[in-house]
Amino acid sequence: MVGLSDLSFSRTLPSSLFNQLGELLEQMAQAMEDTALVLTEAVLTPIYIPDEWQTKRFTVMVSEQFSVLLVGNLQETEISGTQENDIGTGAWENQELWEVTSSLSPVDLSPLQVRLTFNSEAIASFVSQLRDLFGSHSNTHQILDALSKIPSANDATLQSKFTLLVLEYLLPESNNDVIASLSTIPAVSVCQPVEDALQKQIVQERLLNQVTTQIRKSLDLSVIMATALVQVREFLDLDRLVIYKFEGSTNSTPHLPDIPEQDSISQAGCVVYEVLAGNAISSVLNYQEENCLLPTNPCWEKYRQGFTLAVNDVEKTYALEECLLNFLRKSHVRAKFVAPIVFEEKLWGLLIAHQCNTPYEWKESEKKLLTAVAEQLAIAIHQADLMRSLTQEKQTLEQRVVERTMALHDALVAAEAASRLRSEFLATISHELLTPLTCVIGMSSTLLRWSFGDLNKRQRGYLQTIHDSGERLLGMIQDILDLSQIEAGKAVLNISEFSLTKIAETALNALLDKAIIEQVNVKLDLQINPQRDHFTADARRVQQILRNLLSNAIKFTPEGGDVILRLWVEDGSAVFQVEDTGIGIPEEKLPLLFEIFHQLDTPYRRRYGGTGLGLALTKQLVELHRGRIEVESTVSVGSIFTVWIPNQIMSILTKRE
């Protein structure tokens, strides 16, 4: 006959009775003088749970004097069609992988296939299997490995005492009492729980909608958190709701303090925001995880993958993690639910709900709400971060614009100063050259006409060269003075009425001698109605424009070539066109044609000479009349310069008034 001290059994029991036996084991451990460790399935919460362990519940007590194992397996009929991940007091959950269902029944009557044994080998084997679920380098693995070597023959007195207590639960009378107690539960309408659940779901959806609306309306993260977290805490009646921010996460608002820069291995982050139920709940603001919860911990990888963590009782879940358990005790945390805040595949932080005083079984609706709020907070943090980046970029661009504007202003001032100095220099030098040059031209002209004594042919040639060079130098100085006045804004048009035909003939006749010397044919093509011959502009300036264009055309036209001056009136503007059959201008040189002191390349400069002032001055004089000049030129055909000069009749009328 087997004695009471040898009691071991395997039978089907209700979950409620299994829970009572587990509580009995915990009471037994507390009553023992020797140190005893009690583990439940809650220790599996921080790790991924294999399929064969997802339907298993257990309580194992290990000590030097007394060890016992209580294991329960859910019946297949109760778990078919449902993928369940909740094991005891805590579980990892990912709503994309699992859809957890919950029962509205007020009492959990799910049957379990229960096995209770005192066999030391069976207990050691079970602890070894439990050890293998954890990483070989983890502290939990080492603790369980040491526990697997402890079980030995139990103390007979302790085992007998516990056996008698177990029998009290297993006697038929005791079971009848349990059944009788269940029968006294008041009848509840089948529809009432459903109505209550639906009503709570509606309120929850409305709350989530308010949080979403607030996020869309505001970019201030502190306002969003003050609105969302306060409402969620009140709705779920939580003791504490906090946001834990990891080190290195972008700080999207000045209201959330930066984490001090420390070693990333020893410093994972800190609590940056919290909402408390009242003054009785201690604050954990700026609390940091201890070294016992490193970033290399498997928990972090789970969070990065979007898993949530539900812990119903930290005392059972972290029984093997003394460091973390002490930290949670210090923070007054008894139950917690953790939802990751992830955006752009980066783990920013965690939304953590705390119940501080007693264990708490997290309901499925609470988990879903907290997970949804964490997702919305991720969106809010992301958009606040984007806004911060845009603001910084805007400020940077504005600063660059200011710097560039100042640089351009300084460059413009410097350019204007340089231009003014150049104009002043040219004007000063030109005036200083005019007096001696006038004397040279006058004296040479006098000697050519009334010489004192006879001049031979060579002497007369020398005087003529001096006179012609002086005239050419005088023309260049006059051009420089005109350009200086125009650039300085001091040039004034002398508006008067004149004949277009006459002014064209005068300009052409003035260059006939030069054309004859260069053996170039010059022609005048008048395409103008005599009734439209009268024009209003600065006659001297217009004649200067024509003279410069004709002179330039004759200069670059080879012997036997033609230069044609055409004239017509178009839309109230006089159009002068000078066409030649000269060397033309390369297309790439056209943009540089009217620049001051600019000439063609070296071979042309040596052959034709010149200062490059004529065309530059011509363009300035045309623009002074609010006209325009266009050039068509090719190396093979020659050049065509077309000038439009508007009728200045309004200017003369204004001047007369």
Domain containing 595 — which CATH number?
Answer: 3.30.565.10
Q: Domain check: are 397 and 525 in the same one?
A: no
Q: Domain check: are 545 and 621 in the same one?
A: yes
In the listed set 159, 183, 207, which residue is the last one of a domain according to the structure?
183
Q: Domain check: are 470 and 584 in the same one?
A: no
Q: Domain check: are 477 and 508 in the same one?
A: no
In the listed set 460, 485, 510, which residue is the last one of a domain according to the structure?
485
365: number of Cβ within 10 Å: 14
Judge contact between 238 and 224, C-beta under 8 A. no
Q: What region does 81 belong to: left with phi over 0, alpha with psi -120 to 50, or beta?
A: left
The reported pLDDT for the residue numbered 549 is 93
Q: Domain check: are 61 and 15 in the same one?
A: yes
Judge contact between 592 and 601, C-beta under 8 A. no
Residue 421 lies in a domain: yes
Residue 445 lies in a domain: yes
Q: Which of 336, 332, 345 is nearest to 278 (CA)?
A: 332
Structurally, how many domains does the chain consist of?
Answer: 3
The reported pLDDT for the residue numbered 183 is 46
The reported pLDDT for the residue numbered 167 is 75
Q: Which residues constitute the domain of residue 29?
A: 1-86+108-183
Q: Please write the tens of the pLDDT for every residue from 524-539.
A: 999 998 888 999 999 9
The residues of the chain scoring below 50 in pLDDT are: 1-6, 77-90, 94-108, 173-174, 178-179, 181-183, 185-190, 251-267, 602-606, 654-657
Q: Strand 562-570 and strand 573-580: pairing?
A: antiparallel
Element (H, E) at 579: strand 573-580
Q: Domain check: are 497 and 481 in the same one?
A: no
Element (H, E) at 484: helix 457-487
Q: Domain check: are 496 and 603 in the same one?
A: yes
Burial class (CB in 10 A: 0-12, 13-18, 19+), 74: middle
Residue 201 lies in a domain: no
The reported pLDDT for the residue numbered 657 is 45
Q: Domain check: are 459 and 593 in the same one?
A: no
Element (H, E) at 29: helix 15-31
Q: Domain check: are 477 and 452 in the same one?
A: yes
Q: Domain check: are 481 and 497 in the same one?
A: no
pTM: 0.51
Distance in Å from the first CA to the final CA of the chain: 141
In the listed set 144, 160, 183, which residue is the last one of a domain according to the structure?
183
Q: Domain check: are 9 and 140 in the same one?
A: yes
The reported pLDDT for the residue numbered 104 is 31
The reported pLDDT for the residue numbered 512 is 92
Q: What is the CATH number of the domain that holds 473?
A: 1.10.287
Q: Domain check: are 616 and 468 in the same one?
A: no
Residue 256 lies in a domain: no
